[in-house]
Structure 1
Amino acid sequence: MTIALRHARVRYGPLEALHGVTLAAPSPGLTVLLGRNGSGRTTVLRALAGAVPLSGGAVVWDGTEVTRMPAFERARRGLCLVPERRAVFGSLTVRENLELAGPDCDSVLAAYPQLRPLLARRAGTLSGGEQRMLALSRALRAHARVVLVDEPAQGMSPAVAARTYDLLASLDACVVVAEQRLPPALRGRRAFVHELRRGAVVFSGEAGEWAARAGRPSPRGGR
């Protein structure tokens, strides 16, 4: 099973954000979209999720074109998007946010025990890292077939970031994350990389190959 873009174009008014992007993310597995701000990585996630329309090209999921399928229908069929911003319901408590995905919070709190003392807090009052943990907790409980996450470890300590990537990599799902740089937590893990610059794909391959071509230490070697 894969989710893919084929020659995808996205426009925001007069500006074209994606210039005929073709890429695929296999399942199960972890795919990383690398690129600086403005590279198009967030737009790729939104296009896969149906949050922005394509002005050209196609979205293909599991061999079927879903370009015109609305976002709510993709979610109903097992796609979960965790955006960088507004990923939690700020006016609800932490517990209420978790209960939107089901009544049993224990499995989630085992993954992120830092949330337990915060259950009665309004989600909007949490720190950035705590909000990311809460948003990802809901995604983990969704048992989605495709999980799209924009900067999953933003605001987290290195230890919590490493645990987050362990959790994402353990999912029996197609997991696509957008990052500015290859996270240290992935340097010893197999992952597929698509690097974007100015709305175009400039590299697709294994993380180790990307590191070698970029003149950086191999993810398996670390530093």
Structure 2
Amino acid sequence: MLRVEDVHLHYGAAIALRGVSLTAKAGEVACVLGRNGVGKTSLLRAVTGMHAVSAGRIEWEGEDITLLPAYERARRGIATVPQGRDIFPLLTVRENLETGLGLLKRGQRKISDEIFDFFPVLGEMLARRGGDLSGGQQQQLAIARALVINPRVLVLDEPTEGIQPSIIKEIGKIIARLRARGDMAILLVEQYFDFAFDLADTVSVLDRGQVALSGRAETLAAEDVRAYIAI
């Protein structure tokens, strides 16, 4: 289980997170919703070790990882798909996928066939440069690159942003398949309400850096959640 307890995070004098707590369990999708600027990406940066927290505690499987650098968290199986994808545009699809292999033991450094089962289009484009792919294909590549390390926590930062509806549906199916395996906790940050609420097992709604609403998805009224994310 991934556990975030009373986390505070600052950028200089600016407060991004104020006492945020949540959990993400294997076999579930923990969804974080909220408008722009409420601290969603800051929370993911705290979880993945990309930014140090000011106070609070982050645990993974009972281990305190609050002070661990990002690469040590990745070695423990915490993989992230950042907002904006951040693929390497001049590298081929295969080379992009191979960038994650260094975290694996020498005998495990290969791209699993399961990756191309999830994303068959990537198997057809292995020699194509990442920058030549469409936005939807680049998002699939970013998710596939995270899956290469066989993560136990998958952190997704707005995977539907700028993506055509057909690809959004495919990404939703892949997230559902990963959850059904039961061996991975998925932390999903989204603004697209319908996509997120359909997948979520638990929901945390952020507002001004705090958790304004949280609970099991089936116990929360959709209109209450929408009230916090409506522009």
Q: Fold conserved (TM > 0.5)?
A: yes
Deviates more, 1:141-150 or 1:163-172: 163-172
- Tell me which residue corresponds to 2:221: 211
**1:120 Cα shift?**
2.4
Identify if the C-alpha distance between structure 1 residues 104 and 23 changes in structure 2 by more than 3 Å, giving closer, same or farther. Answer: closer
Query: What SS class does the counterpart of residue 143 from structure 1 fall into?
Result: coil
Task: Measure, in 2, the Cα distance between the counterparts of 1:151 and 1:215.
Answer: 17
Correspondent of 1:157 among 151, 155, 164: 164
Counterpart among 133, 148, 159 of residue 140 in structure 2? 133
Distance (whole Å) between structure 1 residues aligned to residue 162 and residue 112 of structure 2? 23
Q: Could you say what secondary structure the match of 2:155 adopts?
A: strand
1:66 counterpart residue number: 65
In structure 2, the residue matched to 1:99 is 98
Cα separation, 1, equivalents of 2:134 and 2:167: 14
SS of match in other structure, 1:92: coil
Give the number of the structure whose residues are more often helix, by fraction. Answer: 2
| 1:11-66 CA-partner distances (Å, limit 9, x unpaired) | 11110100111111122211111011101111111101111001111111112211
Report if aligned partners of 1:35, 1:181 keep a CA contact under 8 Å in 2: no
Structure 1 residue 86 displacement after superposition: 5.0
Q: Does the CA contact (< 8 Å) of 2:29 and 2:202 recur in 1? A: yes
Question: Matches of 2:89 and 2:131 in 1, distance apart?
Answer: 4
Cα deviation, residue 85, structure 1: 2.6
The one-letter code sitting in structure 2 at the alignment partner of 1:20 is G
Long gaps (5+) in structure 1: 217-223
RMSD of Structure 2 on Structure 1 (CA): 2.1
Q: Which runs of 4+ in 1 moved over 6 A?
A: none
**1:105 and 1:94, CA in 2 relative to 1: closer, same or farther beyond 3 A?**
farther
The residue identity in structure 1 corresponding to 2:154 is V
Name the residue aligned to 2:210: 200
Letter in 1 for 2:128: R
The count of corresponding residues between Structure 1 and Structure 2 is: 214
SS at match of 2:221: helix
Q: In the alignment, which residue of structure 2 is the partner of 1:184?
A: 195
Distance 2:135 2:77 in 1: 26
Structure 1 counterpart of 2:24: 25
Q: If the length of structure 2 is used for normalisation, what is the TM-score?
A: 0.83
Identity %: 40
Unaligned runs of 5+ in 2: 102-108, 227-231
How far off is 1:165 after superposition? 2.1
Shift of 1:203: 1.0
Is 1:41 equivalent to 2:40 in the alignment?
yes
